[in-house]
Amino acid sequence: LSRRPLRLSQSRSAAVRVPRASPVMMANIKERTVRAPVFDEVCEQTGITLTRYMMEVSRANPELRDLESLISGIQQACKTISSLVDRATITGMVGYANGGGSINVQGEEQKKLDVVTNDVLKRALRFTGKVGIIASEEEDVPVFNKDAYKVPGGEGKYQDVTVDIGSKYVTVFDPLDGSSNVDANIPTGTIFGVYEEAESMENCMVNDDSVEGSCLLNTLQPGDALVASGYCLYSSSCMFVFTIGAGVNGFTYDRSIGEFVLTHPNIQLPKRGKIYSMNEANRWDWDKPLQDYVTAIQTGQGQTKAKYSSRYIGSMVGDVHRTLLYGGIFGYPADKKNKDGKLRLLYEAAPMSFLMEQAGGLSLTGKTRIMDLVPQKVHQRVPFLAGSYDDVMEMRSYYDACDDPEIIKRCLARLEGSAK
């Protein structure tokens, strides 16, 4: 055992900014302080596992004890998905679901792994007993988990009760981001976000007309209300990177012991990077301010006078992971065809924005802080530009100087929607 204490981060306040949200939503956003664990002893053989990390978080923050079970369910699902992705070509889990023609609510054709990984995550979360509502890219509407509001009773069966047993969370996720890349062996990943219930659903019945409305109320929360978020990257190694509001930590999957092991403590984005990451095939369809910004950093005419390099994987989890480690700016911006971008606010943009900010970075739509936006629908899309704080602020200065009425109108529409 190593006796040198390992401090993952200073105890930091995760007190949230008040978003431009509805009065109901604002009333339910809590200020919270999360105490990061300190490890006085570390096993030389196993290091600090994600399981131990969450046990220590629970001890340091008793109010988060139910989150330990939830994260355990997510990490178990990610291990399963990692195995499915690794063996996809061998097992025939490549290509389109049902031979093609299976379309999700996004209007996107589903891959076989989209369907399977969605089911894996739903089951893993449901079995924790801590998740009342599940929202996924692959589901038309949020799913109410009635089993979270039952307790064991009588001959091993469950009986309905009207008492809330512990915390109930709302979990949102994209089960396999970049699934179209699996056939080409390009990195993919799982993205997740965890909210507390804005309103208890303990008295809802599954066939009650109030369920759908209550599910939506609990699901459509701003990023500032997130309790935890993260991603699992399936690449040359499998990495689980997440935050509970006290910094960002990365764990690598050690298949020899079947555990995620802490390898990247206290991930901090550099204030500046030298990389930009966007799909330049759409460049001339981007907003003019973004075109001008990218031209400036390409040619050494930006604030740093350095010429930036271009790196683009085309898988959000992979591009975000590189940006977290090396800095710079990653974007999936608006263009003439997709004026609100293509990334979904609820389960892609907001969870990744929480990570970026916890690592010292920033995440904007161009001008607007993404964490401030309240989703108006489950699958709402937003532009996404995130990375090193100074790089993102330099990009924003081009939008601030822009007087294009259409761009201003779009920005105002997102803010007005969040204020309803």
pLDDT, one tens digit per residue, over 316-366 is 999 999 999 999 999 999 999 999 999 999 999 999 999 999 999 999 999
pLDDT of residue 313 exceeding 70 = yes
Are the beta carbons of 316 and 178 closer than 8 angstroms? yes
Are the beta carbons of 315 and 277 closer than 8 angstroms? no
- Rounded Cα distance between 89 and 366, Å, is 39
Are the beta carbons of 340 and 334 closer than 8 angstroms? yes
Mean pLDDT of 126-139: 88
Q: Which of 109, 116, 127, 121 is nearest to 84 (CA)?
A: 116
- Rounded Cα distance between 301 and 108, Å, is 39
pLDDT of residue 390 exceeding 70 = yes
Q: Sorting pLDDT into bands at 50, 70 and 90, what band is 28?
A: low
Can you give the length of the chain in residues? 420
Mean confidence (pLDDT) of the chain:
85
pLDDT at 17: 33
Mean pLDDT of 101-109: 63
Share of the chain above pLDDT 90, in %: 61
- Rounded Cα distance between 222 and 292, Å, is 30
**Beta-carbon-side half-sphere exposure of residue 305 (alpha carbons within 13 Å):** 0
pLDDT of residue 70 exceeding 90 = yes
Are the beta carbons of 282 and 335 closer than 8 angstroms? yes
DSSP for 274-323, please give it: SEEE--GGGGGGB-HHHHHHHHHHHHT-STT-PPPEE---S-HHHHHHHH
What residues does 47 pair with on adjacent strands? 43
pLDDT 10s digits, 239-276: 999 999 999 999 999 999 999 999 999 999 999 999 99
What residues does 260 pair with on adjacent strands? 253
Residues in CB range of 29: below 8 A, 6 or more apart: 16, 18, 19, 21, 221, 222, 224, 225
More confident residue, 204 or 135: 135
pLDDT 10s digits, 179-215: 888 888 899 999 999 999 877 655 554 444 555 666 7
Residues in CB range of 31: below 8 A, 6 or more apart: 13, 15, 16
- Rounded Cα distance between 108 and 420, Å, is 30
- Rounded Cα distance between 178 and 137, Å, is 12
